[in-house]
Amino acid sequence: MILKLLLIISITFFGFWLIKERKTVRVRAWQKIIILLFVFGIIVVTLLPNLSLQIALFIGLNRATDLIVYGTIILLLFITANIYLKFQDLQSQISRIAREVSIQEGLKNYPSWTEKK
């Protein structure tokens, strides 16, 4: 039980850290590491089905399937959050470009705007 709790807490904090620092090089590298680890983990588990059961039992789950389902859900949430945030960043970049265009247009249309009276 304590192990489960620790796992949930650490995954939550890790997730928040990944979101907050998502623009840093370190986190960008971590994102790739996580996905690679997951792929690697799936391969290992496929080759050694017993291992997944042992890990599951160690964490306190009864079945290996549960372990894989939980892992997949976490990865899915992680990827969704990442795409969502990437999308938001992209939108804010686009709006900055549009802002620049509309301000330049405005300055062109109203040349006296910047003159001191």
Partner 1 sequence: MDNSSVCIIVPIFNEEQVVRKIVQSLVADKFTTVIVDDGSSDNSFQSISDLPVKILKHSTNFGQGAALQTGFEFAKKNPNLEIFVTFDADGQHQIKDIENIISPIKENKADIVFGTRFQDDKTKMPFLKRIILKLAIRYTNLSTGVPLTDAHNGFRAMNRTALNEMQLNLNGMAHASEIVAIAHKADLRIAETPVEILYTKYSKAKGQSILNSINILSDLFLR
Q: Which of residues 5-44 bind partner 1 (CB under 8 A)?
A: 19
Closest separation between CB of residue 77 and partner 1, Å? 12
Answer for which of 24, 54, 65, 91 binds partner 1 (CB under 8 A) is 91
Tokens in use for 49?
């089905």
**Contact region for partner 1 (CB under 8 A) — 6-14, 28-36, 51-59, 104-112?**
104-112
22 secondary structure, DSSP code: T
Rounded to the nearest 10 degrees, what angle do helices 49-59 and 64-109 cross at?
80
Query: Which residue number, 68 or 85, has a Cβ lying nearer to partner 1?
Result: 85
Integer Cα distance of 5 and 59 in angstroms: 10
Report in angstroms the alpha-carbon separations of 80 from 12, 35, 76.
15, 13, 6
Number of residues that bind partner 1 (CB under 8 A): 24
Give the x/- contact pattern for partner 1 in 48-87, rule: CB under 8 A. ---------------------------------x--xx--
Looking up tokens 């489960």 gives: 4
Are the beta carbons of 114 and 107 closer than 8 angstroms? yes
Using CB under 8 A, list all residues that contact partner 1: 19, 81, 84-85, 88, 91-92, 94-95, 98-99, 101-103, 105-107, 109-110, 113-117
